[in-house]
Chain A
Amino acid sequence: MHQDEPLKQWTPCRDKYLDELNRLEGRGQYTSDHCPSCSLISPSISADDLDLPCNRATVRCRDCFDEELVCTLCCVRDHAHNPLHVIEVHHTIISFCVACLLVFLQKWNGSYFEPTTLADIGLRIQLGHPPGKSCSNPHRGYDEFTVIHTNGLHHVHIDYCECDHFADHGSHRQQLLRRQWYPATHNEPQTCATFTVLKHFHMQNLQGKVAGYDYYSALEKLTDNAGMSKIKVGDFILFYFI
C-alpha cells in the first residue's frame, strides 16, 4: 500500500472526526442536570434532594477516562486519588438586558465549559494518610501551593499530618516526597514538581534536547494557552529545569 493511501481514505471522512471533537466541547450524552454519581452512592436520595445546587451535575474531568458530568461534591470525592486532574465547570451564560430603563435577568440557552480547579471546588489534599482519609490534627499548608505535573501547573490546597501518627508519616518534606512530590525549596516549600514530570523532562531533555525553559513554557501553555492563568511559579523552580 502506498504511504499516501491512509490519508486519502481519511480525507473524505474528516467531518466525522471534526463532529466528534465538537461534541466533546459540549455535554455529549450527559444531558441530565442531576448528578448520576449521587444517585449511585445513595439510591434512597429523593427527587427533592436532587434539586439541591450541590447535586446539580455541573463539572466534569478532562483527565478521567469517562467525561461524565457530576456534581462538585462527587467530583471532589472521586478525585482523592487523582488530585492533579484538570476539571471543567459547566457554565450557563447569564446576561443582563437593559431595555426601556428596566433590567431583565435573562438566561441564555447557550452554555459552555469553563476551566476550574479541584482546589476551587473544595478538594483538600491530606498528606500522610491514605487518599480520602482525614487527619485528626491537620496542619494547613500554604494557600498558594503549586504543583507542576505533566498535564500543567496546579494550584492545590494541602494539609500536612500532625496527628498521633506524625512520627510514622514523617516531616512535612517527607510527607511530600512520599506522595512523589519533589519540593522546590528545602525549607517551607510552596512549590513541588511531581516525580513524573521530572522523569518526563529528563527523558525529553536527553532524547530531544528540549531546554528547561521551553519545557516549562509548554506546561504553562498546556495549563492556559490564553495566558490568563493566575498560577505563578517562583523562578527558583526553573533551576530544576534549566
Chain B
Amino acid sequence: MRIMREWQHLKMLKHAGRGHMCSGAMGTQPGELAVICPASPHPGINIPLEWANCPDNVK
C-alpha cells in the first residue's frame, strides 16, 4: 500500500504541474495540490468578476 500512497502523491504533483517547477516537489505551497471545487462560485470563472455589484435579484 506504500506504493499506492507514493503513486497517488506523484499523480497529485503531476496534475498540479509541479514537475516543471524549478523548486520541485519540495517547493509546493500548502493547498497547491487541492482540486478547485467545480461547484463553488469562483469570480471570473463561473460568476462575473463584479458579482458583488450585481442587483440582488440575480445574485
Which residues of A does B touch, CB under 8 Å?
6-7, 10, 12, 14-15, 17-19, 21-22
Contacts and interface: CB of A to CB of B under 8 A. Distances in A.
26 contacts: A6-B2, A7-B2, A7-B5, A7-B6, A10-B6, A12-B26, A14-B6, A14-B9, A14-B10, A14-B13, A15-B24, A15-B25, A15-B26, A17-B6, A18-B10, A18-B14, A18-B18, A18-B19, A18-B24, A18-B25, A19-B19, A21-B10, A21-B19, A22-B14, A22-B19, A22-B20
Contacts of B14: 18, 21-22
> Top 7 nearest A-B pairs by Cβ distance?
A15-B24, A22-B19, A18-B19, A14-B25, A15-B25, A18-B13, A17-B10
Category for how many chain B residues contact A: 10 to 19
A39 B25 CA distance: 41
Contacts, number: 30
Interface of B: 2, 5-6, 9-10, 13-14, 18-20, 24-26
A12 B6 CA distance: 12
Contacts of A18: 10, 13-14, 18-19, 24-25
A12 B2 CA distance: 16
B8 to A, nearest CB: 12
B32 to A, nearest CB: 14
A226 to B, nearest CB: 13
A22 B5 CA distance: 18
Contacts of B5: 7
